[in-house]
Homo-oligomer: A and B are copies of this chain.
Amino acid sequence: MSNFSACAVCGDQSSGKHYGVSCCDGCSCFFKRSVRRGSSYACIALAGNCVVDKARRNWCPSCRFQRCLAVGMNAAAVQEERGPRNQQVALYRSGRRHAPPSQAPPSPTPHSQALHFQILAQILVTCLRQAKANEQFALLDRCQQDAILQVVWSEIFVLRASHWSLDISAMIDGCGDEQLKRLICEAHQLRADVLELNFLESLILCRKELAISAEYAVILGSHSNAALISLARYTLQQSNYLRFGQLLLGLRQLCLRRFDCALSCMFRSVVRDILKTL
């Protein structure tokens, strides 16, 4: 009981300093809500001198709030509301509670960034569609396809985007993601031709570690081998096995590490939705 400290507002046990004043959780929370909502209360008794103690603090919000101010609680220390922690519910929650925090939702430069995001998302959709049309991949069940694409979408994206027919380097630069830029630049140096790209795509899409069943492991393994043989034949007749090896080594660096790339974070949540529509 030695370190008992009283709430400056109501005399209850204080739980530490809040907004500059030693007070209890209740008064701290009450003060925060009042400031956030900009509540303006009227005294129940009209006199403005109600007693504010532990037992009666909820009787008159007006006098409680006056007392908060009187003991020096600092309204400026109340912060901006944060986003809901329970993400899923966000959209469907009651009305205006979770309107974007401030008046100016998209403010300084997000416009051009959002534009680049949109265009890159279009490219992603195209890549996924192309993947679904892949000769060997298309034979798989949809749920196996989706299970694979959820993991490898980013590899497909980097592979295809780094060899896009139009020049999208301005887009890559513009989205401001240095890591992505570096990855695409590295992948670009492979300078794979159309057929090579298709074979590499098959190798990405048919990883047997991503099989959802033992049967699929066998199927994916044989698809993978087929793609490997095709790629080998093709490159050996074009150049030599060094090229073959380099292309395969190139696959290693397509994988966006979980935290290395902003775009990866942005798109991950989008991919599932895109897959539903394909």
Chain A residues in contact with chain B, CB under 8 A? 34-35, 38, 40-51, 53, 55-56, 58-62, 65-72, 75-76, 79-84, 87, 90-91, 98, 100-102, 104-108, 110, 113-114, 117, 175-179, 186, 203, 207, 209, 224-225, 228-229, 231-232, 236, 241-242, 244-246, 248-249, 251-253, 255, 257-262, 265-266, 268-270
Contact check, B107 vs A70: say whether CB atoms are below 8 A apart. Answer: no
Contact check, A114 vs B176: say whether CB atoms are below 8 A apart. Answer: no
**CB < 8 Å neighbour of A83 from B44, B178, B260:** B44
Docked Cα-Cα span, A182 to B155, in Å, equals 22
Contact check, A49 vs B106: say whether CB atoms are below 8 A apart. Answer: yes
Contact check, A49 vs B87: say whether CB atoms are below 8 A apart. Answer: no
Contact check, A67 vs B262: say whether CB atoms are below 8 A apart. Answer: yes
**CB < 8 Å neighbour of A80 from B46, B58, B98, B178:** B58
**Copies of the protein in its oligomer:** 2
Nearest neighbor of A247 in chain B, beta-carbon distance: B248
Residue pairs across A and B with Cβ atoms less than 8 A apart, 27 shown, are A40-B265, A42-B269, A43-B269, A44-B83, A48-B270, A49-B114, A51-B104, A51-B108, A56-B80, A58-B79, A58-B80, A59-B81, A65-B265, A66-B262, A66-B266, A67-B262, A69-B259, A75-B257, A207-B253, A232-B242, A236-B241, A244-B245, A248-B249, A252-B252, A257-B257, A257-B258, A258-B259
Contact check, B177 vs A113: say whether CB atoms are below 8 A apart. Answer: no
Contact check, B59 vs A83: say whether CB atoms are below 8 A apart. Answer: yes
Chain B min CB distance to A148 (Å): 14
**CB < 8 Å neighbour of A69 from B41, B55, B87, B260:** B260
Given A177-B70, A228-B242, A117:B49 Cβ within 8 A = yes
Contact check, B241 vs A244: say whether CB atoms are below 8 A apart. Answer: yes
Docked Cα-Cα span, A47 to B249, in Å, equals 35
Docked Cα-Cα span, A51 to B101, in Å, equals 10
Contact check, A69 vs B245: say whether CB atoms are below 8 A apart. Answer: no
